[in-house]
């Protein structure tokens, strides 16, 4: 009997605490920034006890918190040490004097880090090309009487999700997915210094050089706004780009932005030929991209280039909120499930993963793997379910550490002002999300006793662009702390 009443008292206390917290959340929500918006908030201990749940099943655009789903599915599907491979093949006979009477093939394995040093262990593209040239020369090849082909057949369909915004798609953060990615599928555009407000900014250079690229700048200098408000307008395989918007005035130094490459695989192949010729290996043919895979049966494998382990890629997906890596991992989910490497097949594989783990997908709409589309619609309950699921995973440490902390730039930088006095800077790990009219945060927080809580907050249709919505989220986190 005593055990029964102890259990009953414990349940009643939990109910009262949850009711009290819910009341406090509603009180905090009485602020102008939330007027006219749609919002939802949920928090629960990872073992299941709910602390508050306000509109947990309301469909909302999640922005980049959607990456929590994609990264969880990838980590659980492939494991933290999985690596993606790119292979170099030789076709044709090699003579005694080192002449290859045939072709070289670069077989894309959809390694999103190829030629980028964002992830730990990856190398920049100049070093990558030098390494590949060395491997080719080590095989005894001194001259190539043939072409170099880039095989991008591993992935199919559109290189961008169908709901990608026109304003976004020419910029680095919406770079197209490719089976043969290169340098994050982006390039740098540098503008000459312009100290005068309202005056046009001229493109000084871009790097790496891309044959046939034309850039027209309609960007002006802004002496009042310190932010980059320039947008590149272009599309996959489009080499005529326009840039509109504003950049901060700069009297002494240049200003650079990053744009999406029209065709990463083509540029990689062009630059490999340049590197080989610089190293004394002549190439008589040209560079070409293949949509259909050749027969590799009788070819000679020269070299296999491996990506960093998946755990380091997930780190960039979440902590740096990098869209390209998330979209590529979504396609890999499709391939692993035996489907074509399209975005839609990746979405189906992601939903299959959720359903197999008893997370309902009936109330959600997903159009990409990164959250960049405003048309995505999920619920805070789905986010919470995924966070709770991963807290029980053998790979949880990798997932947890991929979320932003107070030591990182970005998602939690503004939270330092209130957490530092509490000396609790180590007790929050967050994935943030921001697109037009959307602000979201989800992750983990430890309560005063060190117990782990999962939480998800999403607000849509925000008109105000200030930091007041962040102050609301900070106050919610204070309750949980």
Burial annotation 280-311 (CB, 10 A radius, 16+ → b, else e): ebebeeebebbeeeeeeeebeebbebebbbbb
Q: Which of 376, 436, 409, 424 shows the shortest CA–CA distance to 163?
A: 376
pLDDT digits (tens, 9 = 90+) for 433-446: 999 999 999 999 99
Is residue 343 predicted with pLDDT exceeding 50? Answer: yes
The pTM is what? 0.94
How would residue 13 be classed by pLDDT, with cut points 50, 70 and 90? very low
E strand segments, 48-84:
50-54
Say which range, 21-25, 69-73, 150-154, 402-406, has the weakest mean pLDDT. Answer: 402-406
pLDDT digits (tens, 9 = 90+) for 157-195: 999 999 999 999 999 999 999 999 999 999 999 999 999
Residue 5: per-residue pLDDT: 41
Q: Residue 79: left if φ>0, alpha if ψ -120 to 50, beta else—which one? A: left
pLDDT digits (tens, 9 = 90+) for 35-55: 999 999 999 999 889 999 999
Tally Cβ neighbours within 10 Å of residue 70.
Answer: 29
275 Cβ contact partners less than 8 Å away, ≥ 6 residues apart: 129, 130, 132, 133
Q: Which domains does the chain have, with CATH numbers?
A: 2-81+310-480 (3.40.710.10), 85-193+250-306 (3.50.80.20)
Residue 465: per-residue pLDDT: 78
Is residue 411 predicted with pLDDT exceeding 50? Answer: yes
Share of the chain above pLDDT 90, in %: 86
Is residue 414 predicted with pLDDT exceeding 70? Answer: no
Is residue 12 predicted with pLDDT exceeding 60? Answer: no
pLDDT digits (tens, 9 = 90+) for 119-152: 999 999 999 999 999 999 999 999 999 999 999 9
pLDDT digits (tens, 9 = 90+) for 250-278: 877 899 999 999 999 999 999 999 999 99
**Residue written as tokens 């002002």?**
417
How would residue 426 be classed by pLDDT, with cut points 50, 70 and 90? confident
Q: Which of 384, 371, 395 shows the shortest CA–CA distance to 445?
A: 384
What is the pLDDT averaged over residues 226-231? 93
Tokens of 449: 């006793």
């Amino acid at each position: 009997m005593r055990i029964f009443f102890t259990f009953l008292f414990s349940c009643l206390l939990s109910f009262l605490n949850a009711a009290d917290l819910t009341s406090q959340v509603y009180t905090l929500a009485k602020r102008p920034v939330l007027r006219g918006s749609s919002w939802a908030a949920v928090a629960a201990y990872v073992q299941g006890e709910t602390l508050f749940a306000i509109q947990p099943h309301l469909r909302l655009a999640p922005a980049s918190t959607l990456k929590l789903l994609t990264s969880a599915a990838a980590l659980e599907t492939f494991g933290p040490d999985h690596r993606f491979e790119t292979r170099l093949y030789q076709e044709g006979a090699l003579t005694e004097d080192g002449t290859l009477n045939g072709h070289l093939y670069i077989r894309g394995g959809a390694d999103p880090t190829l030629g980028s040093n964002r992830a730990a262990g990856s190398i920049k593209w100049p070093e990558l090309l030098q390494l590949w040239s060395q491997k080719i020369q080590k095989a005894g090849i001194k001259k190539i009487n043939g072409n170099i082909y880039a095989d991008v057949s591993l992935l199919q369909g559109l290189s961008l999700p169908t709901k990608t915004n026109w304003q976004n798609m020419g910029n680095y953060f919406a770079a197209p997915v490719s089976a043969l990615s290169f340098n994050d599928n982006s390039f740098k555009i540098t503008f000459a210094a312009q100290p005068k407000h309202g005056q046009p900014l001229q493109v000084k250079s871009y790097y790496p050089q891309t044959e046939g690229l034309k850039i027209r700048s309609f960007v002006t200098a802004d002496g009042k706004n310190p932010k980059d408000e320039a947008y590149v307008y272009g599309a996959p395989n489009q080499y005529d780009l326009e840039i509109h918007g504003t950049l901060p005035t700069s009297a002494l130094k240049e200003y650079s932005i990053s744009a999406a490459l029209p065709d990463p695989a083509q540029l990689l192949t062009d630059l490999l030929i340049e590197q080989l010729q610089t190293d004394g290996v002549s190439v008589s043919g040209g560079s070409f991209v293949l949509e259909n895979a050749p027969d590799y049966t009788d070819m000679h494998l020269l070299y296999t280039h491996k990506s960093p382990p998946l755990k380091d890629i997930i780190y960039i997906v979440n902590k740096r909120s990098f869209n390209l890596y998330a979209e590529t991992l979504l396609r890999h989910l499709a391939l692993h499930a035996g489907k074509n490497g399209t975005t839609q097949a990746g979405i189906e594989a992601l939903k299959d993963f959720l359903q197999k783990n008893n997370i309902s997908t009936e109330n959600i709409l997903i159009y990409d793997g990164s959250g960049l589309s405003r048309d995505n619609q999920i619920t805070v309950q789905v986010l919470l379910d995924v966070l709770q699921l991963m807290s029980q995973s053998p790979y949880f440490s990798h997932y947890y550490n991929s979320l932003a902390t107070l030591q990182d730039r970005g998602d939690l930088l503004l939270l330092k002002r209130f957490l530092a006095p509490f000396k609790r800077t180590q007790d929050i790990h967050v994935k943030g999300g921001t697109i037009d009219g959307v602000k979201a945060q989800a992750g983990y927080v430890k309560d005063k006793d060190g117990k782990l809580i999962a939480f998800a907050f999403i607000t849509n249709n925000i008109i105000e662009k200030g930091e007041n919505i962040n102050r609301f989220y900070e106050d919610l986190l204070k309750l949980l702390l």
